[in-house]
Chains A and B, each alone.
Chain A
Amino acid sequence: MLFDIEIGERVHRVSVEREGARYRIVVDGRADVVDAARVDSATLSLIVVGERHESHEVALLERGEPGALEVHLRAGVVAARVRPAGSRRGGAQAPGGPGGPVKLTAPMPGKIVKVLVSPGDEVGPRQGLVVVEAMKMENELRAPRQGRVASVHVQEGALVEAGRLLLVIE
């Protein structure tokens, strides 16, 4: 079976076959044989069978859009996106190319204490935009780059969920 798996900034063509209890996986022409055992509903034990039998424990979580995965490794979390090979979905969003609009979203659930800018304002990099209160602390969210505030989507006093769109800079 063939898949396109996006990890980091790159899309890899990946072929997977099962051979008994093992998987033969070819990524960009490099082949690995992996022995996988399920530990619990989220967790896999992987042994990459080569000269050394490298042991890894990973947990997989589906979050967000279909095909979007979080792979939890000892070192940290890697975001991946899986789709059937060749099914390049229409205009995979390139979030914030150098000149494109940037969406500022709430990094955590909380209360909007202050909105420091209005639509049309010019902002500089790291300029404060919105103050969110969460866990008894006030946190100022800053502009990721220079630009102009295209729209503001929250009001002071509002309670927001993580990921909620707060404003757009273009």
Chain B
Amino acid sequence: MKVLIANRGEIAVRVIRACREMGLPSVAVYSDCDRASLHVRYADEAYPLGGNAPSESYLRIDALIEIARRSGADAVHPGYGFLAENEAFARACAAAGLVFVGPPAEAIERMGSKTSARQAAIEAGVPVVPGTTGPLPPNATEAEISSVAGQVGYPIFVKAVAGGGGKGMRLVAEPAELPSAVRAARSEARSSFGDPAIYIERQLQRPRHIEIQLLADASGTVVPFTERECSIQRRHQKVLEESPSVAVTPAKRRELADAAVAVARAVGYVNAGTIEFLLDEDGRFYFLEMNTRLQVEHPITELVSGVDLVRWQLRIARGERLDLSPGLTLSPRGHAVECRIYAEDPDNNFLPSAGLVLGRRVPGGPGIRRDDGGVTPGLEVPIYYDPLIAKLTAWGGSRDEAVERLGRALGEYEVRGIKTSIPFFRWLFQNDDFRAGRFDTTFLDRELAARNGVPFVTIAAGAEHIALLAAAIHAFERAAGNAGAAPRGRAASAWTLRARSDGLRNG
């Protein structure tokens, strides 16, 4: 089986690694600005898509199918994002005789609509967050919508039926805010997803976001894994995940797993997928949505289960049957935590920080795994795509050990030239409530608001003195004639590579 990877960055590299281990030839695709990136260099073959913006590159279904045909690939792995949950792409692959490494198009379509996904969960006997069972009629009057909202019970979320990732979603605390929230959600849903349909869900008070990874094969075997705890979110976006959750007992895990398997079976699911739940303070859980693809945070499940999810995706795609025992996949070994390292500036309202990488120091040591798309000196982080540059994950025998290891590794990690979220994580890892596992989905936004703009990066006077000493040595060596060849700006250091280095011993 020859596999085309219809993606970029760390996830493309991750899939190519699995292909390499299994002896499967890999085919990369790239946009203009990604020509020199790691997934291109690492694949067996690489073909240009042209363009930079996703719509001109990684979202071009026709171009991807054509490259698959030209390269002789017989399978397509979509990664996450881009076309991973696009049923038209899954159908186009099937029509071209290509194996789509993911679920059937029908399952993507069924779960892609939030309301039909809720319906599927209800049919499977799984509780859903209280709310409307279907979309609001497009011509519903304000009075009708207000009456529906009143029955659901405030506070409520108005959500896009086609939504995801916090887009097309509005929190409404009281009836007076409802009309404008409905208008805003409809308009955002139309512009983001091309579908203005919305529905209403009650906002649970301080829930945790808990999800169940599963694998399913074509013969109907569904294997659930230990839950992932994804409550550490900034504006409804996950920034850190861990497995298992401190809030889930083995008995609760079994209930969650059974519910997840029931939903997957109800839609004829095949390959890797994830069922997301909200867990309230009383231990009641509610189906939230299903992600019909591999997820960003899959490494933590791999670390506590010992199962390689990407290799299993490929094995299922080529028709193999699952031979994993649920006894094993639901008994976590140790604890794993993952940080999503973004190219964004925590001291400037987390604005994206694209640009040239000038240097880096990478963490290592016991229990540390880094999935990185190859953000190395001399390469640009482009402005066109998701700003995730790496995932830093730690495994430990206990939660404390995993957290201590990851905190230590964050201290080692530096990416120079661009701003990253590393300083934010260093702060989070000092937080007592985080360290104790006391949090819910509202925790991080509350803690960030309470900081009130205090900078994440603070330089103590002692550190400033060290910087002064380093600058002085640099100035001295420059003035002593050991200067010259430093290419300024690009990929370079002030610290020139000199032939002679009188004062400096080479380390």
Contact = CB atoms under 8 A, between A and B. Distances in A.
Interface in B52-71: 54
Contact of B474 (A69, A75, A134): A69
Contact of A109 (B345, B354, B361): B354
B466 interface: yes
Interface in B348-383: 348-349, 351-355, 358-359, 361, 383
B466 A46 contact: yes
B497 A48 contact: no
Contacts of A82: 471, 474-475
Nearest to B471: A80
A76 B504 CA distance: 24
A110 interface: yes
Contact of B493 (A18, A25, A41, A78): A41
Given A1-B476, A108-B383, A59 B466 contact: no
Contact of B479 (A46, A61, A84): A84
Interface string A137-162: 10100000000000000000000001
Nearest to B503: A18
Interface stretch (A6-14, A97-105, A117-125): A6-14
Contact of B466 (A1, A21, A48): A48
Interface size class of A (residues with CB under 8 A): 35 or more
A134 B354 CA distance: 8
Contact of B486 (A1, A34, A57, A62): A62
B473 A36 contact: yes
Contact of A42 (B359, B385, B464, B467): B359
A38 B477 CA distance: 12
A43 B497 CA distance: 11
A61 B418 CA distance: 12
B475 A32 contact: no
B494 A44 contact: no
A135 B387 contact: yes
A107 B353 contact: yes
A18 B476 contact: yes
A72 interface: yes
Max chain B CB contacts within 10 Å: which of A46, A57, A107? A107
Contact of B355 (A71, A137, A162): A162
A73 interface: yes
Contacts of B475: 1, 3, 5, 14, 16, 82
Contacts of A75: 457-460, 463
Contact of B354 (A37, A76, A108): A108
Could you tell me the dominant secondary structure of chain A's interface residues?
strand
Nearest to B417: A61
A111 B383 CA distance: 9
Interface in B374-421: 383-387, 411, 414, 416-417
A43 B473 CA distance: 12
Contacts of A135: 343, 352, 354, 383-387
Interface in A19-58: 21, 23, 25, 27, 32, 34, 36-39, 41-46, 48, 56-58
B22 interface: no
Contacts of A8: 464
Given A18-B476, A37-B504, A72-B414, A42 B469 contact: no
Nearest to B353: A108
A86 B495 CA distance: 24
A60 B474 contact: yes
A36 B503 contact: yes
9 shortest interchain CB distances as A-B pairs: A42-B493, A76-B457, A78-B467, A62-B494, A71-B467, A37-B507, A135-B352, A16-B476, A80-B471
30 contacts: A1-B475, A1-B479, A3-B479, A14-B475, A18-B480, A23-B476, A25-B469, A25-B473, A36-B504, A38-B504, A38-B505, A41-B492, A42-B359, A44-B473, A59-B416, A59-B493, A60-B474, A60-B495, A61-B494, A63-B358, A75-B458, A75-B460, A76-B463, A77-B416, A78-B463, A82-B474, A108-B354, A135-B354, A136-B386, A139-B352
Interface of A: 1, 3, 5, 7-8, 12, 14, 16, 18, 21, 23, 25, 27, 32, 34, 36-39, 41-46, 48, 56-63, 69-78, 80, 82, 84, 107-111, 134-137, 139, 162
Interface of B: 54, 343, 345, 348-349, 351-355, 358-359, 361, 383-387, 411, 414, 416-417, 423, 457-460, 463-476, 479-480, 486, 488-489, 492-497, 501-507
Given A27-B468, A37-B504, A42-B416, 16 more contacts: A3-B476, A8-B464, A18-B480, A21-B503, A38-B505, A44-B504, A45-B507, A59-B359, A60-B474, A62-B488, A69-B471, A76-B463, A108-B354, A135-B352, A135-B354, A136-B384
